[in-house]
Amino acid sequence: MSSTPTLHLTVGLPGAGKTTRARELEQAHGAVRLTPDEWMIPLFGLRWTEFDGKRDVLEGRLVWVGHQVLRAGTSVILDFGCWSPEERYALRAIAGLAGAGFEMHYVSLPEDERIRRATARWREAPEEVFEMTPEDHARFHGQFTPPTPAELDGSPLPPPPAPFESWPAWASERWPSLPRLDA
């Protein structure tokens, strides 16, 4: 095993294949996989439209755990989706704070196939993933900003948006349950 741990981030819309990829990474790297969907239903039940905000609380704590695991020398997979570049920049900055490497794993499919797989998966395992309507899928597609080639190549991090002094500061606002990791 390499001595430098890596933060692996899966990026993409529901059904695109993130968790499948995350499981492969877990096997290949002996990494700890943190998949919020596996926590949301046991913690909060099946009606996902009712718990806006709870996912942010959960993700913030998973980022915090992930940072601790990286510092302990083990690779981590945050199987989050990460629809915005700011989220991806912030998590890359946090990997850097932990002295870890960073790898983004972007998965994408044509929309019809992605929605077909997401729907089939829900039918097979309704206790593991949430039901999504065609309207949900269309909304998610509109909210997703795919990584640019520069982002995928690991070009230098841009500065955080004002008024944040650092990406970890931005992250603690985005995920309020995440302590300031650079304080």
160 preceded by cis ω (within 30°)? no
Judged by CB under 6 A, the residue of 5, 6, 14, 140 near ligand ADP is 14
Helix axis angle for 111-124 and 134-143, nearest 10°, is 130
- Least Cα distance to 31 among 1, 73, 75, 62 occurs for 75
20 binds ligand ADP, rule: CB under 6 A: yes
Distance CA 112, CA 116 (A): 6
To ligand ADP, the closest distance from the beta carbon of 40 in angstroms equals 13
To ligand ADP, the closest distance from the beta carbon of 99 in angstroms equals 28
Q: Which does 143 bind (CB under 5 to 8 A by kind): ligand ADP, Mg ion, none?
A: none
To ligand ADP, the closest distance from the beta carbon of 47 in angstroms equals 19
To ligand ADP, the closest distance from the beta carbon of 25 in angstroms equals 12
Distance CA 153, CA 132 (A): 32
Give CA separation, 120 vs 37, 79, 134, 166, in Å.
Answer: 16, 20, 13, 41
15 binds ligand ADP, rule: CB under 6 A: yes
Considering the complex, state which of residue 113 and residue 165 has its C-beta at the smaller distance from ligand ADP: 113
19 binds Mg ion, rule: CB under 5 A: yes
Residues that bind ligand ADP (CB under 6 A): 12, 14-20, 117, 120-121
